[in-house]
Chains A and B, each alone.
Chain A
Amino acid sequence: MDVKQQVLAFFGSKGGIPGATEEDRLKCEYLDTRVIDSMGIVAMVLEFEATFGIRFSPAEMQSMEFRTVGGLISLIERMRKEQARG
């Protein structure tokens, strides 16, 4: 599974993301729409870090990108590329 599939699968396991189309779902601000709770975000961060071998910095977690499902996918993909470049 690629990053997008993994991220969507994670949210699927938490009850799914609201939105009629995939585009809507990728725009979903999952932190504010309470798709996940306070423990959900801990689980999410720990799971993505373990799965993709990355570690979110405070700036990355506070970015606007981190707040939407689509943004999160882009962020993880970029972090993985940067890591691959060393």
Chain B
Amino acid sequence: MNAIEWLKHLPQTYGERPFLIDAMTGRTMTFSDIDHAGRHAAGYFRGRGLTRGDRVAFILHNSSLFAELYFGCLYGGCIAVPINPTLTRKEVQLLLEHSHASLVVVSAETFGHLDPAWLSAHGDRVVLLADGRSGAIPTGFPVLDAPTLSASEPVLPFDGVGPDDTMCIVYTSGTTARPVGVVHRIADLIDNARVFSHRVGLGPNNRFLGILAMTYLGGYYNLLMLPYVAGSSVVLTDTFHASSIIDFWRIPREHGVDTLWLVPTICSILMEMDRGREGESYCRSSVRTVLAGTAPLPVKLRRDFEARYGVRILENYGLSETTFITTNAPTLPDLDGCVGRLLPGVQVTILDAGGAPVPYGEEGEIHVCTPFLMKGSLDPETGALVEREMQEWFPTGDIGILMQTGDLFITGRKKDLIIRGGINISPAAVENLLHQHAAVVECAVVGIPHPMYGEDVAAVVRLREGSDANRVMQELSGLCKAGLAPEKRPARLLELEEFPKSATGKIQKRRVREILMMRLGLEEIPLHHRPREKAPMASRGALPGRVRRAITRPDARVVEILRQFSPSIISDCMNRMGIMHADIRLMGSGARCCGPAVTVEEAEGCNLMSHIALEVVQRGDVLVIDAKGIRSRAAWGGVQTLMAEKLGLAGIVINGMVRDLDEIRKRKVPVFALGTSPGGPLKGWGGNVNSPVSCGGVAVNPGDIISGDEDGIVVVPAAMAESLIPLCERRVKLEAEWIQRVERGEGTMDAVGLREMADNIGIQYE
């Protein structure tokens, strides 16, 4: 199932289950409701003349109507451009001009963020969303409210829209002065969310708290689209702010929230300000998952939080450009400072200063190769899309250590970036602003330790000789207030007469930071943590796997006898149990297969272990591969089928996709799978051969007997096999009798002996 198919199946599968519970209005939307709302919102955009690929900017606070508009964009192929309402007018204007948005949706609260000059030139692009939040709606602009949306002609979702269409442009502070417009395809976000939620075990039973701003990826992706993709629900609230702290647990308790996605700053604020016991007892009784990301989570804070609230925090790591790279999961070891294990399909290499790969356990810059990499970014000057290759290695700018297990530790940062409370701030942008003052000769902006934000912004300036320092410093504060969003403004602004510089004359920011910390009497707060032990050097690539060569196979005579019976007969004699679900179908020849199982467990999207298993199998075996139900790429192909035929295998059963169907059809060995996909499998990850697996909804142990034909697959536990033989023989005779009686003219009610049963049940005839 590709990303679009997945999105289409969600409302069909979860229809009347609640998806979005708006705690601010009490409104609940089911999966069907959001699907309908998305169709209408897409219709509204179409009615406004927007077509696939047009950009819609949103300058809005959290609301369920805003969520509807996001779905409208997605369904109609428009590109969402979220813009944070805390930005200054100037910053907003820059993004509006840069993104070339065809439509700009604001609310009564955020209307004032539009520059009057821009508004007079582009007022025809502006729509006011009546999102039910405070503020009088300005006049003179079209108002978009719930009745207008539902009156819009609905459109067919994803009409002419594919997984590679652009879903959103998200502006993030990079190391450059201007924000970077990161462009993501639908598939980047949706497939990453699927892999992430599968790894963490998120599903229909999770209810998230939507507490992050929907104009950030945290609120838009982590807390809206990802829960949707996982079939979970979200309780939407206002963005975490001063008032939320006072009564943090009321909304989770009232709406049964059991999944929290916190940023480290929220964790530390709760540790300080949550003074009752209610949160502790609620967490201990009801919260199943706490995820944390967006900024480094100090080990001490994590441990203190976990000890107090009694729930493990699962850290994850990703960038706006890459989406999630790693995550911790309940099934993974709990390691101090570890941001999780690589997601399936994602590769990381650690490079030293010279650009050479380092062994596992050694420190260096983290480079990522991921199928979920952004489509590209917008050129900072022209706004044109600069595409990236998916197979390209992306430098994260973070320093870290990769263990042989695939566990990743972040140990520092190479890029010039400040992360304050989970928000990226570009020092260059602040420096550019300070340089606008004529009295500033040199300046440097660095991150200084902050107990709750992790980092805060500090600036040092060297002033022109003879300047009135007090006056200039006040003017600089005013400049920052006018030109920078509150979170970007320097908390400390100091004068420095001499800047530390390298031999080439470059300001040494590390040294500036040390000087600042000394002058301010600050102490380092350890944000990063190294792994306890160095991993042994090993070949790069694969996660560890285990191959059991020797298994106990059932008596060959028993297999031979069972081969005479169809899977239907066998299943009937097992109380109709052991049947794999009907999605696993015969792909190749129509021959019946019966043989002992050799089991394979693959990492999602990979098929290395199946190749290994082909060295372990014996003639007559059936290879049962748990490919984790991944439909985006094949786990088996023509070359392997040829090999399987040469080895005399009785069959292949895959909880995944195959490709090279033409080749498979030429072979005698039957192949059963979920379907076909041209996508090639990955090889970089391990798994297991001959461990218990789950395939088609049935547990399969090595040595169990697999019986399959065009009807489907049945698994016979090895211990039960011999005892089935007389039952199957009797069943075959019985069915032969039924056939004879029907051929003689009897009806099935009498031939099969169902009349007495119908009487016993009390079936009434009219």
Contacts and interface: CB of A to CB of B under 8 A. Distances in A.
A1 interface: no
Interface string B230-264: 00000000001111111100000000000000000
Interface residues of B, number: 21
A42 B272 contact: yes
B247 A62 contact: yes
Interface in A1-54: 30-32, 34, 36-42, 45-46
A37 B491 CA distance: 14
A28 to B, nearest CB: 13
Given A42-B452, A62-B247, A36 B276 contact: no
A66 B272 CA distance: 17
Q: Is the interface of A mostly helix, strand, loop or mixed?
A: helix
B43 interface: no
A57 interface: yes
Contacts of A45: 273
Interface in B268-305: 269, 272-276, 278
B246 A37 contact: no
A42 B243 contact: no
Contact of A39 (B243, B269, B274, B276): B269
A49 to B, nearest CB: 11
Interface residues of A, number: 20
A1 to B, nearest CB: 23
B275 A39 contact: no
A56 B212 CA distance: 27
A41 B421 contact: no
Nearest to A36: B242
B247 A41 contact: no
A45 B243 CA distance: 13
A40 B278 CA distance: 23
A57 B240 contact: no
A40 B269 CA distance: 11
A38 B272 CA distance: 12
B245 A38 contact: yes
A31 B276 CA distance: 20
Nearest to B244: A38
B228 interface: no
A42 B421 CA distance: 14
Contacts of A38: 240-242, 244-245, 265-266, 269
B31 interface: no
B275 A40 contact: no
Contacts of B453: 39
B486 interface: yes
Interface in B428-481: 452-453
A9 to B, nearest CB: 18
Contacts of B273: 41-42, 45, 61
Contact of A42 (B247, B269, B275): B269
Interface of A: 30-32, 34, 36-42, 45-46, 56-58, 61-62, 66-67
19 contacts: A30-B242, A31-B242, A36-B242, A37-B486, A38-B241, A38-B242, A38-B244, A38-B266, A39-B269, A40-B242, A41-B246, A41-B273, A42-B245, A42-B272, A42-B273, A46-B272, A58-B276, A58-B278, A67-B243
